[in-house]
Structure formats: C-alpha cells, structure tokens
Amino acid sequence: MAAFYAGFPETVPIRTVNRKCSSGLQAVADVAASIKAGFYEVGIGAGLESMTVNSRAWVGDVNPKVYLFFSSFNLFQKVKHFQKAQDCLLPMGVTSENVAHRFSVTRGEQDQAAVDSHRKAAAASASGRFKDEIIPVATKIVDPKTGDEKPTIVSVDDGIRPNTSLADLGKLKAVFKKDGTTTAGNSSQVSDGAAAVLLMKRGVAMLKGLPILGVFRAFVVVGVDPATMGVGPAVAIPAAVKAAGLDLEDIDLFEINEAFASQFVYCCKKLELDLQKINVNGGAIAIGHPLGTTGARCVATLLHEMKRRGRDCRFGVVSMCIGTGMGAAAVFESGDGSDELCNAGKSKATISYPRIHDSRI
C-alpha cells in the first residue's frame, strides 16, 4: 500500500523486514546484498514507525511449552536452561538498567549524554544541517477535544529540547527500577518517522547522471546476552570494521543509536572511541528512535555529514543495539570511492559495492 501511495507501479516488487531496532539498516543491507548478487540493479531500503499510534507493549504470546518448564519446581534445571529465552521478553528499559548496573554506568554519565544529544541536535537543526536530508511533509493536526483540523508542514525533528540541563534531568525519577538510573530524560523518545535509502550500481548511477553520496562497504549482525542487549554496538562495530578491511582508527564518523544513554555510554567507553566523532548532530535521545526508521535515518545523517566534511571524512559507521539480544553495524565510504581500500587499514577490500545517492525523507 505504501508503494502504491508513493507512486510505484504494480510491477515493482516489495517485501517487509523486521529486525526490531535495526530494521531500517537491515533493509539497506538486504538491498545492497541483492544488488551485489546481481538480483537487480536498483533498490530502496526504507523504514517507518508510528510509535504514537501503535502500542509499545507486545500483546502476542509464545509457545506454551516454554512456560511449562517454569511451572514445576521439579523442572528447575529446565528453568535454568531457558533463562535466556525468558530474558528475550524483558522490557527494554530493564535491559538498560542491567547494562548500567553490570558495567557501572552512572546516572550522571547518562544524564550528561542526554544533555549532549539535545545540545548537538539543537545546534545542527538551527544551522540547517538537517535540511538536505529531510523532505518536508504536509499533514494536519487534529484537536482531540473539538476535532478541528489545522494544516501544517513538518520539516524539522520536533523532539529536540535545546534547553535540556543536568539540573532538569536530575529531577526525573527512574522508570523501570526502584533506585535505578534510566529515566524518560536519558532514554530515546516515543516518535513517528520514516526514512529511505536509494542504492544502485555505480554504473547505473553514472548513466543516469545521479550524484553518489557514498559506498556501502560492510554489514554485520552479532548476538549478545538478551538481558544486556544494549551492548550490541560494542561487539558489532569491531566486526563490521574488520569485515570492511579496516581498523577502528580508520573510521572518521560514527552514528551509534542512543536507545538508552546507559548502553550508548557503555559502548563508547568500551570501544574507547573519540567522542568528537560520535553522533556529532545529536542522536535518538534528542531526535527520536522510531524503531523501524532509525537504521535508514542514521545512514542519511551519516552520509550527509560526511559529505559536508569533505576529504577529511572518508569512512563512517552506523550501529545500534537490537531487542532480544543483538547488535548491527554497517560501514560506509563517502562519495564515489574506489573499489579497493588502498589508503586505509592494514588489509584491502577489492569487492565492488553498491553506491548510495539519496537518503532520508
């Protein structure tokens, strides 16, 4: 239905992807892989989410046999055996508390990360740095009391709070655990959004005279403990960078999704990353984390920022944690990079990859 609404003819095939928080990035990776395999030459990896319309609570069920093992004291060993399966059902905020507790991420560190996110996003929005990646959308606001409709145009991210301060955040109570540290202020927002990434072979882009924003170099998904799913980027980023034939020192820019400040702070510290390279235009705490959208949105933000920085910014990484215990990461090269990574890293990559020439909506 979305494809028809967007104007695509019935001859264009589509499919949906669900990898929770990395669905948008997974869609981009799937298109890149299919182009590389020769299945087609042009594809769109897109993501969308309306968290204000759809309930945040899962209302489904799981195989009753799983619960059977929890119901009898005589089957205690079975309970122990399926603990990780049970952990897959933990609320994400609880996993945030687990990360903070297990890896000693303080409330102060989390609140500071939130302040930084809003500060950077506010500066980026005010200076027009998001302008090239956001397509204005005409919509309407409906007054819930009167039903009156007011037309409006959405052209900026409206969750950014420029005046966010440590003092204000410090007043907020923990949401998921008594005496915990995860609050509404240092977590990603409930947001609506959509983003799309157009990929194609370099030859096709050149034939059509289209600008090339970047090159898709590598993609990796890893598994981690479901109870601390937020650590995913700390494992996925090194794996993706290695797959691209690079070292962490070769990466000039990172977009690491701020699902929760606890996991964001931990991943940055664990990888010993330069904070000046990470989420330079703010992250999900300020911009929002519409689950299906985030991966594609981060690609758009990364590629446009790399373009602004020019030759001094060659390689970038997008990464996020994934509910139920995973992490995803992808490596991009800015502009129309050569197929061989001849000036970076200790190893070489010699595969032709799809080119990206347009992004976020």
The catalytic site residues sit at: 21, 289, 321
H-helix or E-strand containing 111? helix 107-126
End-to-end CA distance of the chain: give it in Å, rounded: 18
Beta carbons within 8 Å of 251's beta carbon, 6+ residues apart: 241, 277, 315, 316, 317, 331
DSSP secondary structure letters along 266-296: HHHHHTT--GGGB-TT--HHHH---TTTHHH
3-state DSSP assignment of residue 325: coil
Beta carbons within 8 Å of 203's beta carbon, 6+ residues apart: none
Q: Are 216 and 79 in contact (CB under 8 A)?
A: no
- In our burial notation (b when 16+ CB lie closer than 10 A, e otherwise), range 193-225 reads bbbbbbbbbbebbeeeeeebbbbbbbbbbbebb
Within 13 Å of residue 233, how many CA atoms lie on the same side as its CB?
Answer: 33
3-state DSSP assignment of residue 314: coil
CA distance 109 to 37: 44
CA distance 215 to 356: 6
Q: Give the closest residue to 42 by CA, choosing from 3, 22, 12.
A: 12
